[in-house]
Amino acid sequence: MAERDDNAPLARTTAGDLRGRWDGELAVFRGVPFSAAPVGELRFAAPRRHPGWTGIRDAGEFGPCATQPASRLEAVMGRVDFKQSEDCLTLSVWAPPACDGPYPVLLWIHGGGFATGSGSWAFYSGQELARNGRVVVVTANYRLGALGYLFVPELANNAAGAANRGLLDQVAALNWVYENIAAFGGDPEAITIAGQSAGGAAIAAMMTDRDSRWLFKRAILQSPVLGPPTSLDEAAAITDHLLKVLGIARGQIAELRSVTIDHLLAAQIQTSKKFARFGAPVGAIQQVADGAVITDQRAGRFESVQTGLKPGDELIGQPRDAAGTGMAVLAGTTRDEMDAFLMQEHVRYTSRQQMIRMLEEAGLAESVFDDYAAVLPGRSPAKIASAILTDQHFRIPTLRFLSEWSGNKGLAYLYRFDWQPRPDSRYGACHCIDVPFAMNNLGDWHSAPVPPAMLDGNKQSEFDALAQAFQRAWIAFIWSGNPGHDGLPSWVECNASNLNSMQFDVDTRMAMNPDDHIRDLWNSSEQLW
């Protein structure tokens, strides 16, 4: 457990000793390496154990974030100016006083469409969650974009390193937490992993992986992207195009290890634009169904969740086994997820016919637009499209995931986050808007160089009340596996027959099967598959 030395907390890990900082009663350790630096010959390799250090390593500063382009949601959720580096595999720990432990643990996996984000950003600072919940909070960085997910079997140090290195980084962080968290007052047998968006997708992968799921006890999936991973054929085509942009022959692919990071990032951006799909919440360079890290069985699970699990269909293999462990899962979405993507200026004023044409390019027929327009009278074309894509990419897959999970003896709790800062908010209850409530760190968001537009018009008293209710649900779940607490209506488990959902808003309520009409629409329309 962390101890005091010269007014600084100390902790002993398997790699060496650390000196952190005190934040009130919290012991905070920043920039702690959990794997060897993925540079040089390790640039496209699976993560390796850190070689360690001698003496006491200072852990007072956050480690750099993974090299990345600007986020396409920068205007919506704000911008953080932060040092970037390929040497990014670090994590940070916030721990309550060790004398009262051991405490349950939360490992947070950030989102960003597998291309942006960082556990080092103030947006995801864990101090309030650790302080209010008496929980050890860990946030981690992982490789992004081409460095994390480009399919390059020729450069892999083993089959697992061919793709999904970003996911492997997260698993390495989870292993580090399991091995070391007792040194910070945490209980390695009481780990909850939580992730938002792409982070939620990664957690879904770990939940069905035999080598990972025994390392954690509970899971929180915030707006998880549960669509199918990239196929091997498409992943190979993406790699071919990126090599072409760089002027590298396939037979000379080893040159990727020495390409400057600026040139690699520029090629990644150009390749992502080439393979971009309208309405997709993640880019083309993402998790790959490689048969090693994401197995064929798990790829089948993702495919069935995304393209529509009809009554009587079954998910194959590992998901059923994982659910059968009884692991508790808390999952949910925001009401208007896709407003974050579609209500920016380039789409906001699109006409009905333009929007229908874009939806058709995404494989959705005009009749789908008409079906939604009929139940959403007065909505703009962009708002109607947002509702369709919110259900397609977030709400319906989440409902099906929890339905299957609970149907195979897994505990499941569902929520929807409906709050928006004012009635005329452009972005509504959009993707990412629930994160500052879970972390209860509004000040960290408003202090960003570009403040989050999604919170424009926010009332402090309203935020404080809802953040307390939402964060307390997380805390209760981390401690007990049940998110209910005395500040909420009675929270009923969801199951395949009754997908009950806690609707978080100024007046939070428990709703019984609130999405039945949406599920019926998706189950009855062949155009939606």
The CATH number for 497's domain is 3.40.50.1820
What is the maximum alpha-carbon separation in the chain? 69
Which candidate in 71, 125, 197, 406 is catalytic? 197
Taken in order 156, 160, 163, 164, is the CA torsion positive or negative?
negative
Q: Are 27 and 98 in contact (CB under 8 A)?
A: yes
Q: Are 146 and 64 in contact (CB under 8 A)?
A: no
Which residues are CB-contacts of 387 (< 8 A; sequence separation ≥ 6)? 336, 338, 372, 376, 379
Which candidate in 35, 337, 386, 404 is catalytic? 337
What tens digit of pLDDT does each residue of 358-380 get? 999 888 889 899 999 998 999 99
137 bridge partner residues: 94, 106
Which candidate in 50, 125, 431, 501 is catalytic? 431
DSSP string, 404-418: HHHHTT-EEEEEEE-
Q: What is the pLDDT of residue 227?
A: 85
Catalytic, 25? Answer no
Q: What is the pLDDT of residue 517?
A: 72
Q: What's the domain count of the chain?
A: 1
Q: Which domain holds residue 34?
A: 3-528
Catalytic, 337? Answer yes
Which residues are CB-contacts of 126 (< 8 A; sequence separation ≥ 6)? 92, 94, 106, 108, 137, 138, 139, 439
Q: What is the pLDDT of residue 181?
A: 98
Q: What is the pLDDT of residue 509?
A: 97
Catalytic, 431? Answer yes
Sheet with 218-222: list strands edge to edge.
21-23, 26-33, 90-95, 136-140, 103-109, 186-196, 218-222, 328-334, 411-417, 501-504, 509-511
**Cis amide linkage into residue 188, ω under 30° from 0:** no
Residues of the chain with pLDDT under 50: 297-320, 526-529
State the pTM of this model.
0.93
Q: What is the pLDDT of residue 5?
A: 53
193 bridge partner residues: 107, 219
Number of Cβ within 10 Å of residue 83's Cβ equals 12
**343 φ, ψ to 5°?**
-95, 10
Q: Are 84 and 64 in contact (CB under 8 A)?
A: yes
Q: What is the pLDDT of residue 252?
A: 96
